[in-house]
Amino acid sequence: MPKSAIIIALAAAGAIGWLFWRQTQTAPLLVTGFVEADEVRVGSQVGGRVDAVLINEGDRVKAFAPLFTLQPFDWRERLTEAEAQLAAYRAELARLQAGFRIEEIGQAQAKRDRAAAVVDKLTAGPRPREIEIAREKLKIARANLELAQSEHNRVTRLREEERAARTEFDVAIRELKRADAEVASVEQEVALLEEGTRKEDIAEARAALVETDQALKLLKGGSRPEDIAKAAAQVEAAEARVAAIKTQMNELTVVSPCDCVVEGIDLRPGDLVPMSAPAVTLLDSSRLWIRSYVPEALLGKIHLGDRIPVRVDGFPDRRFMGRVTFIATDGEFTPRNIQTPEERSKQVFRIKLAVEDGHELLRVGMAADVLLYEVMKP
């Protein structure tokens, strides 16, 4: 047999053997997925005009790092007004809680004591000595009346005898009338003193005493609980308004909610940002996962909590560890971008693996092979 024929026969036998070996090999248990991360879209709850943009696309930002700021507009004036109103309400509450001043209570006490003295005076009536003095005045008035009567009689006789002038007679008449009127007046005064104080005056004085006494009790009792409660409620409402304005002013500086990567931003100073509208898109790089699809035939090999190695093209010599956190309960058809050793027409189930390490190396969108043949049970 020619040598060339032997070589051809050996080559053919080798090819047939290799094909047979390939057909008898079990396809590796792996599926392909993609690295993903939470997308966070942030904005301001108050909105406004952009004052400064502090980031660029692709920047890595720490949690609470400022992203952009808005112009304050009239927020500072609103805060000043609210704080002034709060101070006024607090002062009113402190006044009500402290009650009335000692001087005010002392003044009310003096008025009450004065009203009580008036009542005592009117109730006691005139003093005996006052009545005695009035009676003595009445005696004097009567004596004067007798004297005037005697003089009048004398002048009248002289007038009849035409020995007294007309003017002298007129003077005598006037003095008699004056003395008579004085006696009548003093008699009334004595009668009033002897009768005592009028009941109406005593009643009026007692009413004034009750009024001043109640006013004193009001001052000593302090402010009404209802007034204090109302003032306290006003303080609480004003404090809430100040806190709300401060919270809204905090929204003038939009910060990152996590350690993220800036995915998208289209802002310039002067732009108007609507209230509660997303303005910056971030990717939460602190929490990466791999989304993949497992054929129905391999579904029984994995369970929630399993740890499975993952391989990416960018780092072929390194294994990253992922933990199964989700297995879909509903099946679906294999997506176009997934390649598995199984037939692509078969039903698959979506799974999710939380990446436990290598966050500083992995990037969102990387293709990753999930090595199902190295599943680690918890």
Q: Which two tokens stand for residue 339?
A: 């390649």
Phi, psi at 362, each rounded to 5°: -75, 150
| The predicted structure's pLDDT at residue 27 | 46
| The predicted structure's pLDDT at residue 10 | 53
| The predicted structure's pLDDT at residue 157 | 79
| The predicted structure's pLDDT at residue 245 | 94
* Closest C-alpha among 50, 211, 53 to residue 118: 211
**Whether residue 356 has pLDDT greater than 80:** yes
| The predicted structure's pLDDT at residue 191 | 78
pLDDT digits (tens, 9 = 90+) for 184-197: 888 888 777 777 77
| The predicted structure's pLDDT at residue 333 | 65
Distance CA 50, CA 77 (A): 19
C-alpha angle 320-326-329 in degrees, rounded to nearest 5: 140
**Whether residue 9 has pLDDT greater than 80:** no
**Whether residue 13 has pLDDT greater than 60:** no
| The predicted structure's pLDDT at residue 37 | 87
Mean pLDDT of 282-292: 86
Handedness of CA 103, 106, 112, 118 (dihedral sign): negative
**Residue percentage of the chain with pLDDT more than 70:** 88
Question: Do residues 31 and 342 touch, judged by C-beta distance below 8 A?
Answer: no
Distance CA 55, CA 37 (A): 20
Distance CA 349, CA 176 (A): 138
Q: How confident is the model at residue 155 (pLDDT cuts 50, 70, 90)?
A: confident
Q: Which of 135-139, 248-252, 305-309 has the lowest mean pLDDT?
A: 135-139
Spell out the residues 6+ positions from residue 273 whose beta carbon is closer than 8 angstroms to its own: 43, 44, 47, 48, 49, 50, 70, 267, 279
Mean pLDDT of 243-269: 91
| The predicted structure's pLDDT at residue 28 | 58
DSSP state of 336: T
Distance CA 334, CA 325 (A): 20
Q: Which of 19-28, 156-165, 249-258 has the lowest mean pLDDT?
A: 19-28
Mean pLDDT of 253-257: 93
- Average pLDDT, whole number, for the chain? 82
* DSSP track, 70-110: E--TTHHHHHHHHHHHHHHHHHHHHHHHH-S-HHHHHHHHH
Q: How confident is the model at residue 241 (pLDDT cuts 50, 70, 90)?
A: very high
Mean pLDDT of 26-44: 82
Q: Which of 4-13, 36-45, 148-157, 197-206 has the lowest mean pLDDT?
A: 4-13
The reply to whether CATH 3.40.47.10 applies to domain 26-71+258-378 is no
| The predicted structure's pLDDT at residue 80 | 94
| The predicted structure's pLDDT at residue 69 | 94
**Residue percentage of the chain with pLDDT more than 90:** 23
| The predicted structure's pLDDT at residue 19 | 46
Question: Do residues 293 and 336 touch, judged by C-beta distance below 8 A?
Answer: no
Residue ranges per structural domain of the chain: 26-71+258-378, 78-99+224-249
| The predicted structure's pLDDT at residue 344 | 47
Q: How confident is the model at residue 11 (pLDDT cuts 50, 70, 90)?
A: low
Q: How confident is the model at residue 8 (pLDDT cuts 50, 70, 90)?
A: low
* Closest C-alpha among 68, 19, 79 to residue 44: 68
Strand partners, 295: 348
| The predicted structure's pLDDT at residue 244 | 94
Q: Which of 62-76, 94-108, 265-279 has the lowest mean pLDDT?
A: 94-108
Mean pLDDT of 279-285: 88
**Whether residue 341 has pLDDT greater than 60:** no
Cα 107 to Cα 93, 104, 230: the distances in Å are 24, 5, 28
Cα 94 to Cα 86, 225, 236, 286: the distances in Å are 12, 13, 14, 51
